[in-house]
Amino acid sequence: MTNTPPPPPAPTGDILLDVRDLGIGFVDASGTETIARPVDGVSFSLRRGETLALVGESGCGKTLTSLALLRLVPAPGVIDPASRVTLNGRDILTLDTESLRALRGKRIAMVFQDPMSSLNPVFTAGAQIIEAIRAHERVSSSAARSRALALLHEVGIPEPEARIDQYPHEMSGGMRQRVMIAMALAPEPDILIADEPTTALDVTVQAQILEVLDRLQSIHGLAILLITHDLGIVAGRADRVAVMYAGKIVEEAQTEALFAQPSHPYTQGLLASIPRLTGPRSQLRPIGGTVPEPTRWPTGCRFHPRCPQVMDRCRSDPPELLQIGRDHRMRCWLAEGS
């Protein structure tokens, strides 16, 4: 439709978090030379109360992107100085250490992928939730404890009075993930980053955890950034979806639009590789190959070596993110022809 690079969506009043041109480089041992760019020019925004799903295969830069929002990118990763991450208009990337600490957990909290190793094994569940509360507020330990109990109840842990004094190893994976969610919610954040919150769990437990997240979102008006490789859990949960491939967002749309009209060949590939229980039975079509290493992003469109609709120009010219519909953008030369 249009050939001009997309204007960044005009920030409106209810945009909570705005990420512009986020780039993360891996530097070599001397710390001067960038040897890889695992995240490259990622922009998105998150509105109050909405769920944005960041979808992509392992190694596409989803987790790094989310860690950058808290400035927790591990070495040798370095956030580009030109990147902008603003929360309520305040640039997170230039905050001093103490303001940053005060923001972590309090404004943006995070639930990690692996509940088995994300809780400290030497402290009880209660102690860890209480710590999360008291990292940001001066409250008496008895008040903090009763809030921890209420949180455990809220995330659906039966018999919170008994569970609060248990150690992580005494709990199942689902329980631990509930405790992680309770910890994340303890300081009453505005934004919750959920990084593959259910990947390490059994399918039945996955559904319960997602249900807890949904319920808490409607109660607290949380904005959720859901990081996942599973489009199956995105449908019916996320308001918008951004599909990432090789460090870039390749398609972004309202969830219904994305499922109704997946446009980027990568998105189409992801959808075709999900088994369906309804509709005509068809062969699952996995996408051939794997995400390339960040040190060796292909030239041109980074998806071209795996793309079934590859054209000549895809090999040399990197496509821009183009508007292809209302609130629907994709990074593909096919957009020009449509």
Partner 1 sequence: MNRVAEILRHVRRSPEGRLGLIILTAIILAGAAGPLFLPDPLAQPDILGGANLAPGTGHWLGTDQLSRDVLARVVSGARISLTVAFIAVALSITLGAAVGLVAGYVGGWVDVILMRVVDGALAIPRLFLLLLIVAVWEALPLAAFIVLLGTTGWFGTSRLVRGEVLRLKTEPYIQAAEALGARRHRVLFHHLLPNTAGPVLVAATLGVGNVILLEAGLSFLGVGIRPPTPSWGGMILEAQEVLFVAPWSSVFPGLAIVLTVLAVNLVGDAVREAVDPQHA
Q: Which residues bind partner 1 (CB under 8 A)?
A: 70, 72, 74, 101-106, 109-110, 112-114, 117-123, 131-132, 135-136, 167, 180, 183-184, 186-187
Rounded least distance, CB 70 to partner 1, Å: 6
3-class DSSP assignment, residue 218: helix
Classify residue 5 by its DSSP letter.
P
Distance CA 48, CA 64 (A): 22
Q: Which is nearer to partner 1, 179 or 332 (CB)?
A: 179
Q: How far is the CB of 288 from partner 1 (least distance, A)?
A: 32
Omega prior to 76 cis, within 30 of 0: yes
What phi and psi values does residue 243 have, to the nearest 5 degrees? -95, 125
Residue with smaller CB distance to partner 1, 186 or 253: 186
Distance CA 140, CA 224 (A): 30
Instruction: For residue 26, give the nearest of 14, 16, 39 by alpha carbon.
Output: 39
Q: ∠ CA(13), CA(46), CA(26), 5° rounding?
A: 130
Residue 37 C-beta: closest distance to partner 1, Å:
22
Smallest distance, partner 1 to C-beta of residue 205, A: 18
| Distance separating alpha carbons of residues 311 and 306, to the nearest angstrom | 12
CB of 172 to partner 1, least distance (A): 17
DSSP state letters, 261-311? S--SHHHHHHHHTS--SSSS-----PPSS-PPPGGGPPSSSTTGGG-TT--
Least separation in angstroms between residue 182's CB and partner 1 is: 11
- The 10 Å Cβ neighbour count of residue 151 is 26
CB of 295 to partner 1, least distance (A): 21
Q: How many CA atoms lie within 13 A of 126 on its CB side?
A: 19
Residues 6+ apart with CB under 8 A from 49: 217, 221, 222, 223
93 or 135, CB closer to partner 1?
135
- DSSP states of 61-111: SHHHHHHHTTT-PPTTEEE-TT-EEEETTEEGGG--HHHHHHHBTTTEEEE
CB of 117 vs partner 1, minimal distance in Å: 5
Output the smallest distance, CB 283 to partner 1, in A.
38
